[in-house]
Amino acid sequence: MPKYTITDNYALIDKLKENRTLTKDEWTRLIAERTPELAEYLFSLAREERRLHYGHDIYIRGLIEFTNYCRNDCLYCGIRRSNSHAVRYRLSEEDILSCCHTGYGLGFRTFVLQGGEDAFYTDEKMVRIIEKIKKHFPDCALTLSIGEKTCDSYRRYFEAGADRYLLRHETSNAEHYSKLHPSSLTAAARKECLWNLKRIGYQVGTGFMVGSPYQTARHLAEDMLFIRELNPQMVGIGPFIVHHDTPFADQASGTLELTLFMLGLLRLMLPKVLLPATTALGTIAPNGRELGILSGANVVMPNLSPTSVRKDYSLYDNKICTGAEAAECRNCLEKRMEGIGYKIVTERGDSLNL
Ligand code: 5AD
Ligand code: FES
């Protein structure tokens, strides 16, 4: 690569740090022309930025995957409606509370209720579950990740005590979105949900898959611009990973390398954002989550679901930790984080990006 280009791209990273954004063309170029050396430079700035705001603390979120029934048919996802091989399950209110109880004892102060879009859990049922969790664990934050709902439903959950909501936009580009989803789902509707959630007062998390089929550097540039505009409290990204029982069975998975680069860029764009090193990242590489932290991430989200159902929440192939107890993951992560000089803390871990 000619030297002037390299110099230019280092300067682009400096510009990103200075202005906290780039133009679409600049984002595209930086992503498309990235090199290992450039990435190292980016990661060192990203680590410095996260240290300024969050020190070496790592926030943990206890993930409770409470239903794998889903009315949607996203082409990439293993629990899509048309996957007749998926073994479906639902957790009862008692099961969910028992997961929280175990998690509380292990030092979790945030619980994330994640599930497919499952009509079994009516608004009334969700409100009851939310109220119970908040009543039993008043010092904990409660995050929902249950997909697209009406503004009214979002408001009811919020009034019942839900604090945060995770809804990845998946890809900002409408045409790309339509290649990953059935026509019943649109990028516009997804974004509308995110704006509604913000307006209601949730701490909002969005995000996207890295290396999803048909994704280009320009699409990723558009993701950065959308996230910059939304200014969420959290951004969850992970590599797309093939699931063998989906229409994308023959596609290539995303890479560790590009995912880490995008984490670094996100940390520089939104210095105070909460950025998880995701399970998908830990799945494509044995030390993926550690590398994610070293690229600017500051959150990990181990699983609190009962081991009996773990393997059935299969969004993609070879997901890690499906055989482990909650306590095992908690200890494992503690060691992993200590191994790279970071420390898991027992706190709610609210976002400083307000
Ligand atoms: N690979 C990686 N991530 C996936 N998700 C769904 N299916 C896959 C897959 N095959 C992600 C989506 C969703 C989140 C809960 O999991 O981004 O928002
Ligand atoms: Fe689950 Fe390591 S985090 S076993």
Q: Can you give the pLDDT at residue 336?
A: 98
Going by alpha carbons, the residue nearest to atom 18 of ligand 1 is 168
Residue 324 burial class via C-beta count within 10 angstroms: exposed 0-12, middle 13-18, buried 19 and up = middle
Q: Can you give the pLDDT at residue 227?
A: 98
Q: Can you give the pLDDT at residue 205?
A: 98
Does the CB atom of residue 144 touch ligand 1 within 6 A? no
Q: Can you give the pLDDT at residue 13?
A: 97
Quick one: which ligand is closest to 281's CA?
Answer: 1
Q: Can you give the pLDDT at residue 253?
A: 98
Whole-number Å distance between alpha carbons of 203 and 45: 26
Residue 63: CB atoms within 10 A of its CB come to: 26
Question: How far apart are the CA of 209 and the centre of ligand 1, in A?
Answer: 7
Going by alpha carbons, the residue nearest to atom 3 of ligand 2 is 329
The residues, ordered by sequence, that sit 6+ positions from 333 with a Cβ below 8 Å of its Cβ are 58, 60, 289, 300, 302, 344
The three-class DSSP label of residue 112 is strand
In this structure, the residues whose C-beta lies within 6 A of any atom of ligand 2 are 302, 321, 324, 328-329, 332-333
> For residue 300, which atom of ligand 2 is closest to its CA?
3
Question: How far apart are the CA of 287 and the centre of ligand 2, in A?
Answer: 11
Q: Can you count the helices (H) and strands (E) in the chain?
A: 14, 9
> For residue 243, which atom of ligand 1 is closest to its CA?
10
Q: In whole angstroms, how far apart are CA 328 and each of 288, 295, 324, 333?
A: 18, 25, 6, 8
What's 225's DSSP letter?
H
> For residue 302, which atom of ligand 2 is closest to its CA?
3
> For residue 333, which atom of ligand 2 is closest to its CA?
3
Q: Can you give the pLDDT at residue 5?
A: 54
Kindly state the tokens that stand for 81: 């409606």
Could you tell me where the DSSP H helices lie in 137-277? 151-160, 174-180, 187-200, 217-230, 256-269
Angle between helices 326-339 and 93-105 (to 10 degrees): 40
For the chain, the maximum distance between any two Cα atoms, rounded to a whole number of angstroms, is 62
Mean pLDDT by 10 residues, the chain (354 residues): 65 97 96 97 98 98 98 98 98 97 98 98 98 98 98 98 98 98 98 98 98 98 98 98 98 98 98 98 98 98 95 96 94 97 97 94
pTM: 0.97
Whole-number Å distance between alpha carbons of 78 and 86: 7
